[in-house]
Homo-oligomer: A and B are copies of this chain.
Amino acid sequence: MASARQISGPCQAWPEDSAFIREVLDRIGDKWTVLIVSTLSDGSLRYSDLQASIPGISQRMLTQTLKHLERDGLLTRTAFAEVPPRVEYELTDLGRSLMGAVMAMAGWAATHHSEIASNRAASELTGVGRGKTTVSASAG
């Protein structure tokens, strides 16, 4: 996604600011980013530790996401020139502040996820969001 960035609208909340909001969303909206960052919140870890700590991840995604995070300055990568190669990843202050923001989202999620879940369940029965909807007789 994130192809064209022409999102200027007439009556919007954020006129043009949405640009970097989407940047952030593109980053944390990524499944692995959140998992990696949260895993690193305990302290620095090496590549294989991360891979072991995050069950479903492939090394492709691990490497790629780590690169993105490093590029954005959310974590640091330190390679040790030892005989058995060792690389350690650690969150920067910026990375930890992202954790805080995600935690805030988590708070919202924790507060409302049951409500969302019940809404969703109710929709299954009602048919809402699948064709059937509230139909009002002409209110004009």
Contact = CB atoms under 8 A, between A and B. Distances in A.
Contacts of A4: 56, 103, 106-107, 110
Nearest to A118: B73
A70 B8 contact: no
B139 A80 contact: yes
Interface residues of A, number: 88
Contacts of A12: 35, 38-39, 42, 53
A105 B25 contact: yes
A13 to B, nearest CB: 4
Contacts of A54: 7, 9
5 contacts: A3-B110, A25-B29, A67-B129, A78-B133, A81-B135
